[in-house]
Amino acid sequence: MKPKTTSTVEIKLITSEKVKDALPKALIEYLWSLVYSESASKNILQIFELSASQLCEREVQDIVHLVENSEFRSSHRVFGSLPVNEEIHVIRFGKGYHMILAKEKICYTCHSCMCSIRLVH
């Protein structure tokens, strides 16, 4: 997804490689659109609980969108792609967002999943 531009500021959207491997591109873009929802966009951590469910003998993607330290909760259902069972975290940092799998580690200094790899080399 392209960076979102407000009136004067470009907002960086970073999707980790593990998220790109785990989720279809259309689902990633849908999650980014939910990040921008008015109720959630200013918070530091947004959580997406993704689970497969059945609807009339078809598998569908259920999404529960939560915001840390908030009562915000919204549920969504997506059709048309193979559903996955994952927890996704979207972390706001400065003028951007970083989408990672919940099980990934992120460096809060550089806001990258790759920091520890770079330090090794």
Regarding pTM above 0.85, the answer is no
> In the 8-state DSSP scheme, what is residue 26?
H
How far is residue 75's CA from residue 112's CA, in Å, rounded to a whole number?
Answer: 28
**Has residue 70 got a pLDDT over 90?**
no
pLDDT, one tens digit per residue, over 15-61 is 999 999 999 999 999 999 999 876 656 778 999 999 999 988 889 99
Residues 6+ apart with CB under 8 A from 106: 91, 98, 100, 112, 113, 115
**Which amino acid makes up residue 86?**
E
Confidence of residue 10 (pLDDT cuts 50, 70, 90): confident
Kindly list the strands in the beta sheet with 86-93, ordered across the sheet, starting from the edge strand earlier in the chain. Answer: 4-5, 10-15, 96-101, 86-93, 45-55, 58-67, 73-78
pLDDT per residue as tens digits for the range 76-112: 999 988 999 999 999 988 788 899 999 987 665 555 5
Bridge pairing between strands 96-101 and 10-15: parallel
Residue 86's pLDDT is what? Answer: 97
